[in-house]
Every structure is written in structure tokens, then in C-alpha cells.
Structure 1
Amino acid sequence: MTGIAVLLVLGSGFVHSVWNLYTKRSLNKNVFLWFCQLTAVVVFLPWAIVELDAVHWSGQTALLVAASMALHGLYVVLLAAAYSIGDLSQVYPIMRGTSPLLVPFAGVFLIGEPLSVYGWGGVAFIVCGIVLLSGIRFDRSGSGTLRAPLLALAVGVCIASYIVVDKLALDHVPAVVLNEASNIGNMLALSVAAFRSNGIRQEWAANGKTIILGGILAPGGYLLFLLALSLAPVAQLAPMREIGTVFGTAMGIWILKEQQGPRRLFTSLMITAGVVVLGIWGGA
């Protein structure tokens, strides 16, 4: 792995946590994210048009791009729902820790690939961290508080899915074109909820500057990761990107003043440690 790929991934993790902080602080998550995607489509469109000549068009290319758009669109809808009811320091580590956990499990149980003792140790760290962070409890009425953790898990499934699809798509499509396609998919997926909310003017008035910045950071951070994927294997890079788990948790605790700070910071470190061990020493 080159030093450039490492820097790109670390930068991607930090940028990702920053725009997630902005999303959590917004008034209406669907509207805020819709505005961010609209901004991203406009900002990155000229660059994407320039790179269109490098696309190797085929039926497989169209299928991969369409799958990427659909998965990214589902991801952003679930993300808005998760942040509408859950804390940043709770939701963010769960969704970031889930995606690198699923790939090894799929390899072991579906493909028959081996996992080392260290790899299983990493899995145990991630699972324990997610369970501790979920804050599972029940109130007197008997209803649980599982909705935010379950939404975060669903977001993690989407992340794992679109990373695999996007890695395959990069063989046919330049990173900036693929990123622009996902921006369009995200915007379309959020459009109905955004227009039905009647909160577009209010969100822009309250967070217009943040929307513009988020519209650059959100796709920009993932573009950094896509560029890194073109330089090194996804199995090596994906775990390193999860350092954003610690960044996001720390921001939720110290900037948003969310509760249970020490416990959530500890569990986010546990998840990150598990991801790193799994990514580096997981192979048998």
C-alpha cells in the first residue's frame, strides 16, 4: 500500500465524520442531506463530464452504476432516519463498525474462506463494542429502544454493499463519474421526503452555509476513498477508514455534548481496534 493511499483513506475518514456531525445538527435530516446532494451534483458535474470519455460503457457497466446509485440512495435515506432518532456518538460507530464486520462473515460462511484466530478476536471486539454501544434497554411499557441501533446496522449493511459494488465499478468508470452517479442517486432517493416535509426554506435559512460545505465534504470524502481504492486493495483500506469512528464519537461527545461520553468513546475505540486487527491479521 502506498503512502498516498494511506493519506487519502485517513483524510476520507475524518471528512466523513465531519459531514455526519453537520447532518446530526441539522433541523430536518432528509432536507439537509437532499440539499447537500444537490450541491454535490452541481459542484462535481463539470469534472464528471470531462471524465465521461474514460467510461468503458457496456451492459455490465450500466448494471454496476445503477446498483451503486440504488445502494447509495438507500444508504442516505436510512442515514437520515438513524440521525433523526439516535445520537451521533451512538449511531456513527455502529454503522461504521458493521460494514467491515460483514465482509469477513460472508467470506467464512458463504465462500468458505478461512479466518485466523486474530481475525476472530477482531470480530469479537467489534461485536462486543456494537452491543455495548447500542444501549439496549426496555421501558415500562415493554417497548424497546432498538430502533436507532437497528437503523445504524442497516446503514452498515448498505455501506458494505456499495463498497463492494463500487470497487467492481471502478474497473469500468472513473472515480469522479461513479461518485457523481451516487450523488444523483442520493438526491433522487431523498426528493420525495424533502418536498413533503415543507421544511426546505427553513433548513436553508438555518444551515445554508453548512449545506454548501457539507455538499462538498460528503462526496469529497468518499471520492478520496475511491481514489485510494484505485491504488490499493479494499481489504487493506476499508479497516483504516474506520478511524472515523473515533472522530465521530468524539465530536458527538465534545461538540454536541451527548451523554455517556466515556463509555461511548471506549466502545468506539474497541470497534476500531477490532476492525484494524481484522483487516491486518484476519487472514488465516
Structure 2
Amino acid sequence: MHASALPLNVTLAVLAAAVTHATWNAIAHGIKDQVLAFGLIGVGSIAVAVPLVIFGPFPLSACWPYLLGSVFIHVFYNLLLMRCYRYGDFGQVYPLARGTSPLVVTVLAAVFAGERPAPPQVAGVLVVSCGLAVLVFGGRRAGSGSRPESGPSRAALIAAVATGLTIAAYTTVDGLGVRLSGSSVGYIGWLMLLESLCVPAWALARRRREVVGGVSRRVLLSGVAAGALSVLAYGLVLWAQTRGALAPIAALRETSVIFGAIIATVVFREPFGRSRIAATVLVVIGVVLLNVA
């Protein structure tokens, strides 16, 4: 079947998720100890997930193979994301990791969900992906004269692309699973609870002394807040996936890289430059195409 244009409320929800996602990733990047950062994010996610599990409807049995599969994929996603932020600049690895997924989701949604995007939406996915590529590899550093902007290291490149593939995998799996759950609230609650238990446990096993006794109040609050924001961001996406096609939602969600670029410039003092301006224009054009009926 052909996927129709996204309703306005779905579009706004996914854009809100994009802003929220860029924010919590920026917080995670700002905590230098990535094991500690993602351990605290897991704690924050658990704190938000528990009320959803207690008060939300229990997901239907048909969704559980997808939900448990997504938990497994999410664990690898978090481990790979930690490596991304260890090896590369936020303004490069974040858009590369996020930008790998829309094209892959388009193919997976066609194969497993029978969703065939209309020509304008295919064009929108391609334009958004091109904009993200420009954001990673194009342009020059502000104030550097004619010196080209250095690209991500090989390790950062591999980690970011691998992260993007896990994003595409869990996006497709969750898109199918949440539609069978009977409750997007119950699905996100159980997903985030089960997923989030793994990383803090791993952090405790590796760095128990630092995690338990050596965390400053600022880092503690930042990490837990990032975890809460991560649940909100993905919860909005899962809700949207019950009301729209997977491929355009996946592409629209990746507008988070534009917000990430702004955060990278304002907070981390990474240059914005002409490449990011060009990427922003391309992504905006792509978003318009995604919403053409």
C-alpha cells in the first residue's frame, strides 16, 4: 500500500521528539565519562518507565516478540552510541548515526510492513538523507580560511554507521510491535524499563565505585534528566508510528540533527558554517516533501 502524508498532529509530535532527542543526546555527550553517562540515563529512563508500566495497560501478547527483540537491539545501540561520542565530535557523529537510518527504514518498511511511500515521500527521504550527508562531510570550519573541515575518524565513522543500522532495526521492529500492542503507553513503558535495566547494571559491573560514590550532583541530575527526556522522545515517536507510515516518520525524526547542530554550535562551540546552513535548507525541503499528499 502507498503511505499517505502525515497528519499535522503526528508531524508536530515527531518534531517535538526530534528536539527532545537532540537535547538528551547533547547532555549525554557533555558528560565526559560515557559509561557513567549512559548508566545515569538508564536510571532516569527507569524512573519514568515504572509509572507507565504500573498505570498503563499491559501490552497484548502479539507484540512481545517485537518488544523483546527491540530491547536486545537497543542495548547494542546504546553501546555503539557510547563509542560514537568517545571517538568523534557531537556535530559529526550524531547526524551520521541518525542519518543512516531513514533510507534503511524505507526499505525495511516496504518489505516487512508493506508500506510503499508515494514519490514525493521517497524524494523527501532522499533529500533529508542528502542534507544529513552534507552536515557530516561538507563545508569548512568557521574562521579557518580555506582549510577544509576535518571529517570523522575511521573509528567514529564505523561506530556511527553501525549505530544508524541499529536505529533502523529498532525503528522497524518497534513500528510493527507497537501497532500490535493495543497500548503505545504500555509498550513504551515496558520497552524502556527492560532496556534501561541493562546499561546501569553494566555500568555498575564496570565502574561500581565511580557510579555509586563519585558522581557530582550536577552530573547526576544531568544524566537522570537525559534519561527522562529519552523516554519522552521515543514515546512520542512510538505514538506517531501508530498513526503514520514508518519511513516518513523515521526521516522526519532525523530533523533532530539540525537541532543537534544548533546545540553543538551554541553549547560545544563547534562551528555552524555554510555546510550546516545548506544541510538545514535541504532538510526543510525534505520535510515539506514528506508531507505532500
Quickly name the TM-score band, shorter chain normalised: 0.7 to 0.9
The one-letter code matched in structure 2 to 1:21 is A
Instruction: Quote the residue 1:192 is aligned against.
Output: 202
Instruction: Quote the residue 1:159 is aligned against.
Output: 167
Separation in 2, partners of 1:41, 1:239: 27
Query: Any gaps of 5 or more consecutive residues in structure 1?
Result: 136-143
Q: 1:46 to 1:103 in 2, by over 3 A?
A: closer
How much does 1:161 deviate? 0.8
Conservation of the 8 A alpha-carbon contact between 1:126 and 1:274? no
The one-letter code matched in structure 2 to 1:180 is G
Identity between Structure 1 and Structure 2 (%): 23
Instruction: Quote the residue 1:147 is aligned against.
Output: 155
The one-letter code matched in structure 2 to 1:196 is R
Number of aligned positions between the proteins = 270
Task: Give the secondary structure class of the aligned counterpart of 1:171.
Answer: helix
**Matches of residues 1-284 of structure 1 in structure 2 within 5 Å?**
1-53=6-58, 55-57=59-61, 60-105=62-107, 116=119, 119=122, 123=126, 126-127=129-130, 129-130=132-133, 133-134=136-137, 145-173=153-181, 174-183=183-192, 184-189=194-199, 191-197=201-207, 198-200=209-211, 201-258=213-270, 260-266=271-277, 268-269=279-280, 272-273=283-284, 275-276=286-287, 279-280=290-291
Separation in 1, partners of 2:22, 2:28: 10
The one-letter code matched in structure 1 to 2:177 is A
Q: 1:193 to 1:6 in 2, by over 3 A?
A: same
Conservation of the 8 A alpha-carbon contact between 1:97 and 1:242? yes
Query: Any gaps of 5 or more consecutive residues in structure 2?
Result: 1-5, 139-151
Q: Give TM-score scaled by structure 2 length.
A: 0.78
Task: Give the secondary structure class of the aligned counterpart of 1:231.
Answer: coil
Q: Give TM-score scaled by structure 1 length.
A: 0.81
Conservation of the 8 A alpha-carbon contact between 2:128 and 2:251? no
Compute the RMSD of aligned alpha carbons: 3.2
Task: Give the secondary structure class of the aligned counterpart of 2:56.
Answer: helix
How much does 1:109 deviate? 9.9
How much does 1:87 deviate? 1.1
Moved more, 35-44 or 178-187: 178-187
How much does 1:129 deviate? 4.5
How much does 1:256 deviate? 0.4
Conservation of the 8 A alpha-carbon contact between 2:45 and 2:196? no
Separation in 2, partners of 1:118, 1:227: 20
Q: Deviations over 1:77-113 (max 9, x none)?
A: 11111011211111111112111021335578999x7
How much does 1:120 deviate? 6.1
Conservation of the 8 A alpha-carbon contact between 2:20 and 2:229? yes
Conservation of the 8 A alpha-carbon contact between 1:129 and 1:270? no
